[in-house]
Structure 1
Amino acid sequence: MRSMPNTNTRNLHELSADIAAVVRDVVATGEDAVITDDGTEVAVIMSMADYDRLHLYAELADAARPGYAGATEFRAMSISEMLDVLGVHPTVDRGLRG
């Protein structure tokens, strides 16, 4: 399991009882909530601002790939690879959370 800054971990089996509180906490604190199933990370709940920013970075990374315009094949990349390509370091506070 990876250790990410600004995250809290929730068990999938316990989540249904307090999903509203988890979402409100994510919005209020800006901390992502990592959801686990039997100890395996399976999902993340994040704020819309972080989601929008992540997709903006993904679009920029796609556009920066050699041969992107008209390319017919794409290579999947993990979020950590994408952040590396973009030079984004997740431990650096950018003051983007509002």
Structure 2
Amino acid sequence: MGDSFAYAKDKWDKSHATPDFKVRDLVLGSTTKFNNIKGCKKLKESFAGPFVIKNLHGENSVEVELSEELSNKCPTFPVSLIKPYKASDAEMFPLRN
């Protein structure tokens, strides 16, 4: 049993990268836990944001500054539910907002 745990840990360590978030970074937060967003659940956005990271809580969670419409939500996200925000290039995609 110990060998299987060691093997699984070894595989996890090889494929897992620790997220590199810093305060003031822009991130997108997953909407999987946002149950009361209006509209059809199937058509809602997968990620909301961008949000600014306000505080880091260890390696596994971050606190973000939420927009006014999401102010009733908990501003702390586990790092598994956020991803870095990448702005789209205005020259390549002129019609995007």
Highest relative contact order (Cα 8 Å, sep 6+), 1 or 2? 2
Greater per-residue helix proportion = 1
| Higher fraction of strand | 2
Instruction: Determine which structure has more spread, i.e. the larger CA radius of gyration.
Output: 2
Question: Is the TM-score greater than 0.5?
Answer: no
TM-score by length of 1: 0.23
